[in-house]
Structure 1
Amino acid sequence: MTSRRLVATVALPLFFVGTLTACTATPEAAQPTSTQSVAAAPDSLLATAGLEGKSGREIVEALDQLSSPRPLPVMGSVRYDHVILSDGKGEETVPIDGDEFYISIAPYETATHDCYFHNVGTCQGELSGEDIHVTITTDSGEVLVDDDTTTYANGFVGFWIPKDVTGTIVVTKDGKTAESPFSSDPEGATCVTTLPLA
C-alpha cells in the first residue's frame, strides 16, 4: 500500500479518537520494550484509529504525513525500536522492526519548540509545506540522505536512517542553512527542532 493511500485510510478513523498531550521535550524514563501485537481487539486503540494490521513503520509514516491540523486525536511517541500510541484513554506499544531509526526534523526561521521524542500526533513545526534540501551525513563521512523534499503539514519531514550512528543534519532553504548533530543510538532524539535557518 502506498504512503498516500495509507494516510487516506488513517485520516477518517482518527477523527473519532480522544484527546492528546504535546511533544516530548525531554527523555522520559525508559519505557518497557515488550511490545503488543499489531493485530488488535476490535475495541483497541489501533482498531479505533484505523491502524490495525499496520506495522510500526507504517503507523509512524502515516501519522507524521497526515495533513490534518495538530493535535491529532491519537498521539504516537517515536522511540528507537517502537512507537507508543495513546488516545488519552489507553496506550499501546507497537514495535518498529528492522535496523533503521526514524528521525523527524523541523527547520525554522522564527519559532521552534523543545522536542526529544517526536510525537507524530502533536508536534507542530513552523514551516509546513515548504521546499527544503536535507543532507544527513555520518561522522565517518557516509551520506545517508541528500534529498530535495517538502515538509509535511506538521512542519516536519522524516527519514529512516541506520541505527547506532552519529553525524550531522544540514538543511537549506532559499539560500539559508541550518545544521544540527544527531545520534541514532537507543538514547538518540527522534525529534530535531534545533535547526534555525540563517
Structure 2
Amino acid sequence: MGRRERDRAPPVNFPARPRSALGPSGGGSRRGTGQLPRRSLFIGVGLLPLVVAGCGTRGAEDAPVTEDEDLLQEHGFADADAQEIIDQLEALPVAERPQNLIASVTPTSLQLSDDAGREAELPLPPDQFYLSVAPFVEATHECAFHSLTTCRGELRSREISVSVVDNSSGEILEDGTHTTHDNGFVGFWLPRGITADLTCALEDVTGTASISTQAEDDLTCLTSLQLT
C-alpha cells in the first residue's frame, strides 16, 4: 500500500456567510455550489481551532488486496468486511475511535494501518461507492480520501436534510434527514458509475455539490460543500 499523510494547518478566517431563506421546513433558497476536483488534494487548510482534520491524499493504486489477520483481530474486525468496518468506524464517538489505527477509504478499497506497521486492504463492494460528506458553514479542510479515524468536520451531531439526484436518469438516490456523526460527517453508499447532484440543508442555509462515483480518483471525502 502507498503512504498515508496527515497534515495540520493554522486556522484561517472565512468571510461572513450571507443569510438565505431555506431549511428543511421549506421556503425559497439560495444554493451554494461546490465543484469537486477530480484529482487528489492536499489537506488541512481552513480549520477553526477546535476543528482538527487529517485526511488521506494518496491516489487509488492497483495494489493487491491484503489482510493482516493480527491487525484485524486486534481491532475487532476479524469477521467483518470493508463495508461493515466503514459503517462501524464512521459511527463511533470521536473519543472512542482508535488512536493507533489509520483507516482510509479510497474509491475501491478500505486501507488500514496501525502503529505496529501492520497493514490491511479490503475491497469495497464492486457495485457500491462510499462517500462521506461534511457540510460546513464557516470552516472546513481539503480532503481527497476519507480518513475514518482522523477526519473532523464542523457540524457535529446536527440534523441535516440530504438529497442525491442522478444526473443521467433523474432518479432520486437519497432524500431524507440525517444526523451527522460525532466527527461532523455523514456517509452514503451510492451506486458506482454515476454523476449526481448532492444537496444538504441545515435550518435556513443550503448548498449543492456535483459528485461522481465513476473514476478511481473520485473523492470519497466531500468537504467543499458550504451551506449559505
Fold-level match, TM-score > 0.5?
A: yes
Deviation at 1:171, TM superposition (A): 0.2
Q: Which amino acid in 1 is paired with 2:71?
A: L
Query: For structure 2, which runs of at least 5 residues remain unmatched after alignment?
Result: 7-53
Residue 81 of structure 2 corresponds to residue 55 of structure 1: yes
The structure having more radius of gyration, on CA atoms, is 2
Following TM superposition, the consecutive aligned residue runs of length 4 or more in structure 1 with deviations greater than 6 angstroms are: none
1:137 paired residue number: 165
Higher fraction of helix: 1
Deviation at 1:90, TM superposition (A): 1.9
**2:60 and 2:108 in contact (8 A); partners too:** no
1:69 is paired with a residue whose SS is helix
2:109 paired residue number: 82
**2:59 and 2:217 in contact (8 A); partners too:** no
Q: RMSD of aligned C-alpha atoms?
A: 1.8
With the length of structure 2 as denominator, give the TM-score of the two structures.
Answer: 0.71
1:192 paired residue number: 222
Percent identity over paired residues: 34
Question: Within 2, Cα distance between the matches of 1:175 and 1:115?
Answer: 26
Deviation at 1:71, TM superposition (A): 6.6
Q: Which string of whole-angstrom CA distances, capped at 9 and with x for unpartnered residues, describes residues 121-179 of structure 1? A: 11000111000001111112221100101000000000101001011110000021011
Question: Within 2, Cα distance between the matches of 1:158 and 1:61?
Answer: 8
Question: Within 1, Cα distance between the matches of 2:207 and 2:98?
Answer: 28
Comparing both chains, which one has the higher relative contact order based on Cα–Cα distances under 8 Å and sequence gaps of 6 or more?
2
Deviation at 1:98, TM superposition (A): 3.4
Aligned match of 2:64 in 34, 56, 60?
34
**1:70 and 1:122 in contact (8 A); partners too:** no
Q: Which amino acid in 2 is paired with 1:189?
A: L
Question: Within 2, Cα distance between the matches of 1:193 and 1:181?
Answer: 12
Question: Within 2, Cα distance between the matches of 1:189 and 1:66?
Answer: 22
1:46 is paired with a residue whose SS is helix
Cα 1:48–1:150 change in 2 (3 A) is: same
Q: Which amino acid in 1 is paired with 2:217?
A: E
Deviation at 1:52, TM superposition (A): 1.0
How many residue pairs align between the two structures? 173
Question: Within 2, Cα distance between the matches of 1:29 and 1:112?
Answer: 21
Question: Within 2, Cα distance between the matches of 1:101 and 1:128?
Answer: 23
Matching of residues 40-189 of structure 1 within 5 Å: 41=69, 44-69=70-95, 72-73=98-99, 74-88=101-115, 89-140=117-168, 141-185=170-214, 186-189=216-219
